[in-house]
Amino acid sequence: MTFDLYAWASPRGLDGDAAAAAVAAWDSATPDGVPPPHDAGLPFDPSTDVGWFYRELVLDLPGIEAASDVPRSRGTTPLWRSMEEASPARVVAMRLPFAQEIRRRLRDRQAGDGS
């Protein structure tokens, strides 16, 4: 299942081809939208920073379509007051509601320009 935006902490410094290969590996490991467990051998390294990002993302935007390899936290305490640690996560994948429309408009523009 593909998403529009992927966030991870490590590895860093990937060129476009390496990043695309890492995302493709993630997508192929999640064909039904269920993220794999941490030991799935994916090219992303677990990080509590990614876990915190996912937790904050779904707390701030409860309707966002996002997936990660950690379950959503049930806590409702603001992160800055939370006493619990975030679980390490490898990647956060998000679907952006306007991305398909932007892609369609770009294709239409390219078709109109002849490029």
Each residue of 39-83: pLDDT tens digit?
666 778 889 899 889 988 988 888 888 888 887 666 666 666 776
Domain that holds residue 40: 5-113
pLDDT tens across 86-97, in order? 788 888 989 887
CA distance 53 to 51: 5
Tell if the pTM clears 0.85, that is, is over it: no
Query: Which range among 7-16, 30-39, 46-55 shows the weakest confidence by mean pLDDT?
Result: 30-39
What secondary structure does DSSP assign to 52-114, as a single string? HHHHHHHHH-TT-EEEESSPPP---S-GGG--SPPPPBS-EEEE-TTHHHHHHHHHHHHHHHT
Domain count, the chain: 1
Average pLDDT, integer, range 17-37: 78
Cα 35 to chain centroid, rounded: 10
